[in-house]
Copies of this chain bind each other. A is one copy, B any other.
Amino acid sequence: MNTFGSNFRFTSFGESHGVAVGGVVDGCPAGLCVDFDMIDRDLARRRGDGLSGTTARKEADKVEWLSGLLDGLTLGTPIAFAIKNGDARSGDYENLRDCFRPSHADYTYQQRYGIRDYRGGGRASGRETAARVVAGCIAKQLLHQRGISIKAEAVVGGERADETSGGVVSCVIEGVPSGVGNPIFGRVNAMLASAMLSIPSAVGFEIGEGFASARMTGREYADAWNEPSGNTPLTATNHCGGVQGGITNGMPIVFSVAFHPVVTHTGATECLTADGTLREVDVKGRHDRCHVLRCPVIVEAMAAMVIADLILKG
């Protein structure tokens, strides 16, 4: 539901215009010296500081640490944190109380719960990902200690900030040893896919050649072994993206995530109402034009939590 992972376990909470978003990280090993500046930098990447076309909402994103730390070191106990919601203009959303915007979670949340926080998307808002970035950055730091690095970037999308579009984020994880992962339902690729599709607006995942491999032959797709020697990579190519049978082979893990475009627009929007009619509503609030540029750090955060979860399984 709102918990991700089993060994490195993250529980997320918070609504966009509630008191706070935040989370609890359970299972982080004791003795990690947390780099709080790195967390702040990742939060700045998520906010899109300096990017045009990203949200006008300005949040300080000050992380309040509630537990699990002593003198900056993790205790092995749950690390709880909260980020207060500051710049929330809830009044902007009053006319959405009984209206469901098209292609939003307004309608589905109402159907699921019979009630929803209609202000700024509530729980479905991208604001929730701030908590993931914090937890994911702790996971990254844990992985850095073990020589594992994660780097994501937008490879499609964001070219023109004046027009909303979706995009694709590509991610490479380096340094994961071979033999990590669990076959069948705990495959690395299955866990990554689940993690990525849990990001708001994510609609696709592929590993290695992904959808392109559908038109390749077996001979084209096969990754031939290199002659083993000290520095030579295991295989000559990496079509499989570093995972075979759900388990890492030691090559870089390479995957991509597709995001649909932002569908929120300011202005007149035809909405469905709670009483089953259509109504034109003047939608306010502050929305991204292109959110894909803000997504790489979220992709990294989720990827880091997946790998930390697997590595800690022992």
Contacts and interface: CB of A to CB of B under 8 A. Distances in A.
B11 A26 contact: yes
A21 interface: yes
Given A112-B179, A227-B278, A122 B75 contact: yes
Interface in A91-144: 100, 102-105, 107-109, 111-117, 122-124, 128
A156 to B, nearest CB: 5
B203 A197 contact: no
Contact of A203 (B105, B184, B194, B208): B208
Interface string A150-189: 0000001100000111111000000000111111111101
A260 B216 contact: yes
Interface of A: 1-4, 6, 9, 11-15, 18-22, 24, 26-27, 30-31, 64-70, 73, 75-80, 82, 100, 102-105, 107-109, 111-117, 122-124, 128, 156-157, 163-168, 178-187, 189-198, 200, 202-211, 213-225, 227-228, 235, 239-241, 243-250, 258-265, 270-272, 276-278, 312-314
Nearest 10 Cβ contacts at the A-B interface: A105-B245, A314-B314, A111-B179, A194-B194, A204-B206, A108-B247, A30-B113, A76-B113, A13-B78, A193-B193
